[in-house]
Structure 1
């Protein structure tokens, strides 16, 4: 089955709506049954017929490409580099995926455990 850019974009839009699958902060992120139900909803709403296995395989492929592009972007953000020096991926799906996945791929700021005592 051909996965055109339009179908991939449609799939990513549906995937973005199912935060339970990709957001580890979602309260039910570890519930396998609910995640399976979310994948079924994506499969049913997609304009093409494909198996769950094929859908998940496509997601894995897209995530692999996204991670490579994201690593290049992060690697180009060095101290002292200007906005024009930051790598801009040409891959059509990067911006769409980065819009909702950046929050899960960017680490949270650490909290200082240092206690400051003022006398």
Structure 2
């Protein structure tokens, strides 16, 4: 039986995920410690009553969507752009995810070729 995910349930999952920085914060001392990350997933699983593999699939799906919207926002920010011109996602989970992931999620670093050519 597959897990039924409503927007509200996904937001509860994101709150639980945010409360476990060992899972999403690369600088966290336990981020690469399999025991600590396993324990964090187990805690979320107990709260959500959803198996860890299902939670990880949902995380991957949410992260994929978040990265797509984050890239659209970054791409819409250019020199001289007014705040009205900056893309504002209406996806229900964007603000929640951006509040704790923000700059921590890379969207393929770009190189300013004009600056490189002039140096």
- Tell me the TM-score normalized by structure 2: 0.84
> Distance in 2 between the 1:50 and 1:81 partners?
44
Flag as ranges the 4+ runs of structure 1 deviating above 6 A.
none
Match of residue 91 from structure 1: 91
Verify: 1:21 aligned to 2:23, yes or no. yes
Q: Which residue of 2 aligns with 1:67?
A: 67
Q: For residues 101 and 93 of structure 1, do their structure 2 counterparts lie closer, same or farther at Cα, with a shift above 3 Å needed?
A: same
Structure 1: runs of 5 or more not aligned: 108-119
* Aligned match for 2:8, one of 6, 9, 14: 6
Q: Distance in 2 between matches of 1:22 and 1:40?
A: 15
The separation in 2 between residues aligned to 1:13 and 1:105, in whole angstroms, is 17
Q: Which runs of 5+ in 2 are unaligned?
A: 108-119
- Could you say which residue in structure 1 is the equivalent of 2:78? 78
Instruction: Map 1:33-72; keep pairs closer than 5 Å.
Output: 33-46=35-48, 49-72=49-72
Superimposed CA distance per residue, residues 2-24 of structure 1 (whole angstroms, 9 cap, x where no aligned partner):
10011000000000010000001
Query: Post-superposition shift, 1:106?
Result: 6.0
Give the structure with the higher percent helix.
Answer: 2
Q: TM-score, normalised by structure 1?
A: 0.84
Between structure 1 and structure 2, the one with the greater Rg is 1
